Amino acid sequence: MKDLAGKHIVLGLTGGIACYKSAELCRLMIKAGATVQVVMTAAAEHFMTAVSMQALSQRPVALSQWDAREANNMAHINLSRAADACLIAPCSADFIAKLAQGQSDDLLSLMCLARPVDQVPLLLAPAMNREMWAHPATQRNLAQVAADGAVVLGVGVGEQACGETGDGRMLEPHELLDDLIAFFQPKVLAGQRVLITAGPTYEAIDPVRGITNLSSGKMGFAIARAAREAGADVTLVAGPVSLPTPRGVQRIDVRSASNMLSAVTLHAPEARVFIATAAVADWRPDVASEQKIKKDGSGQTPALRFVENPDILATLAQSARARSGDLYCVGFAAESHDLLANAQAKRLRKGVPLLVGNIGPATFGQDDNALLLVEEQGTEEFARDSKLALARRLIASIADRIRD
């Protein structure tokens, strides 16, 4: 997806070993559809060459406020006026101090000071030693630049170039890309708490066998990302899947339907929206064997007795908060046929205002999907698209509904 199509980003590099990550960040932003203008400080040139950044950005790198190539010799004005955002990555402790004090003794700091603050947002990706990060002066300067309108992104935790371990690493390029994309998304769920389930559940037969399904969790994870991009505080309760947690999302891993019900019951009182995308097993073995069930050579299959699992969606939909309208419940139906009829019946059976249907075999494990939104007033089709694009449309629709 070209999530940054039409966006022009000024990428500022200050002095720090994390400049090597900026090369990959530049490449990822361009791959996402952005145009990128690189501006480097003199300190940054000790860690990354302007030639490398020019090759990646396909634009001459801006290095000095006295660059005679600018017709009006005002690079600090021209660069910022053309930008949709300025991202400083890495942003050193020294540069943060400059911003806090309004100093402007090089092109990058001058451009940050001269930019129209209400039109060109400034995003900072700090990078420094753990002691520098924790120093009261750095924290005081970060608070000041944030108060002045800059968006201070987080830092990573781990091994540092100096050999120490702790906070202060610059976030990885893919994390910064996700943060930048999220920054431009409409904040239609700002201040709301959203609870989401995703993936399959696993019901044990014995220690090595169980009942599950083909759900990959991709749709639910995309919805969690979209909700977070929309400004929500998101809790994702995930069945057994191998997917990376979306940026900024609290993830709770569970295994069985009972585990999932316990997790959502715990977090539902804080939520405004509950979206049940998980493909929860309808039944489980009455008793799971403590030892592996062995074949005995008789040709007889073991006798398994099943019991019905708790209905997570119906349980939350029937709660007092849902009945009062304080919890908006959205269900998902993965059908194999007769999508409209089955989705309508499931919506009524579960007692939810909105049911989202899809054809499971056509979407399990895939990166795209097609959705059918079913509510009392009628239906709406979302044509096949990437799961993230559909998730963003769905989140926008849910935001409209809870505002009404």
Cα distances from 134 to residues 93, 130, 140, 141, 156, in angstroms, run 11, 6, 10, 12, 13
Cis ω before 121 (30° cut-off from 0): no
Using the 8-state DSSP alphabet, how is residue 279 labeled? B
Active site residue 162: yes
Instruction: Please give the span between the terminal C-alpha atoms of the chain, in angstroms, as a whole number.
Output: 31
From 86, 91, 112, 162, active-site residue: 162
For 394-397, which contacts have Cβ atoms below 8 Å and span 24 or more sequence positions?
A: 394/223, 394/226, 394/356, 395/188, 395/189, 395/223, 395/226, 395/227, 395/229, 395/230, 396/186, 396/188, 396/230, 397/373
Burial of 250 by CB count in 10 Å (0-12 exposed, 13-18 middle, 19+ buried)? middle
Per DSSP, the three-state class of 302 is: coil
| Displacement of CA 226 from its chain's centroid (Å) | 7
Supply the residues annotated as catalytic.
162
